[in-house]
Amino acid sequence: MPPHYSFQKLMDGIGKHPVFFFDFDGTLVELASTPDKVKFKPITKYILENLANIFPVGIISGRCLSDLQKMIAIDGIFYAGNHGVEVEGPGLSFIEPNTSRFRYLILNLLDELKAKLSSYNPLIEDKIYAIGIHYRTIDPLRVNDFLFEVTKILETPLNKNEIKVLNGKKVIEVKPPVEWNKGNSVKIILKHLKNDYAPFYFGDDLTDEFAFETVNELKGTSVLISNRNSLTKAKFILGSSNELMGILAQIISEYQ
Ligand SMILES: [Mg+2]
């Protein structure tokens, strides 16, 4: 298990040009039963706005870009949606070039999933270039059956290499079979910023491991938000998003 992160460790790693990257769900907000129920607290928004006045900030999420921008609504920061496939920010607008042609397949698969899984009443989220199949709200006694049905539906396109499947926290993500992850979007944003930037990345989920890896390669700082004993590539661990906010508030008062 990595060592506990602290304000002092942040100061030790800050260097000349830090950039702060955050995952959203589970990192900046507590997870909720469905993605639309999360609460982006005013204090968190206030801290991020202040941080973004001092350093570049990027938010990198599995949510689709438009949803992410609507939820956070802070000007002048970078947003990466769909695990980094869509990236926007000051002077930057990027979409992973192999992804857009999968929209037709995603729409067909959405119809099939909704029709065949209706008895479970799951949340099946159209993320434009991905599908989120959420099962947090499904009766625990039926979850196994549900997952079996999902696997059956996804089997053919998966075998034909038309999709790939990622497992998150009570969500199955269906994505185009494009080699792209949150780490790639970190690189896109850093390249856009040009200077010799030192990235910090804070995330809580398996999909953040890609970004931890990238940030470690770039000699940056990777921090897992987790209260469990987790196997991770992150260099440090923090117990909660509240702890993270405390550290950020300290760094802001140091630099303001
Ligand atoms: Mg997360």
Residues above pLDDT 90, as percent of the chain: 83
Distance 37 CA to ligand 1 centre (A): 14
Q: What is the pLDDT of residues 183-201, one digit of tens each?
A: 999 999 999 998 889 999 9
| Distance separating alpha carbons of residues 69 and 54, to the nearest angstrom | 20
**DSSP, residue by residue, 205-241:** STTHHHHHHHHHHTT-EEEEE-SS----S-SEEES-H
Q: Which residue type sits at 28? A: L
Averaged pLDDT, 116-142:
94
pLDDT in tens, 221-235: 999 999 887 789 999
Q: Count the neighbouring beta carbons within 10 Å of the beta carbon of residue 90.
A: 11
For 156-178, the pLDDT digits (tens) are 999 999 999 988 888 999 999 99
Q: Mind listing the pLDDT tens digit for each residue in 29-38?
A: 998 888 889 9
The reported pLDDT for the residue numbered 216 is 97
Question: Residue 12 C-alpha to ligand 1 middle, in angstroms?
Answer: 26
| Contacts for 4 with CB less than 8 Å, ≥ 6 apart | 236, 237, 238, 239
**What would the DSSP string read from start to end of 156-172?**
HHHHTTS-EEEEETTEE
Nearest CA to 204 out of 173, 172, 169, 175 is that of 169
Helix residue spans in the chain (DSSP H): 7-13, 42-54, 65-72, 103-116, 143-159, 182-193, 208-217, 241-255
Domains of the chain listed by start with CATH number: 7-96+180-255 (3.40.50.1000), 100-175 (3.30.70.1020)
The answer to whether the CB of 57 falls within 8 A of the CB of 22 is yes
Residue 170 CA to ligand 1 center (angstroms) comes to 11
Each residue's pLDDT tens digit, 51-78: 999 999 999 999 999 999 999 999 999 9
107-117 residues labelled b (16+ CB within 10 A) or e (exposed): eebbeebeeeb
pLDDT in the model for residue 135? 93
Under the banding of pLDDT at 50, 70 and 90, the label for residue 13 is confident
Interval between CA 179 and ligand 1 midpoint (Å): 20
pLDDT at 1 over 80: yes
Distance (Å) from CA 28 to ligand 1 centroid: 8
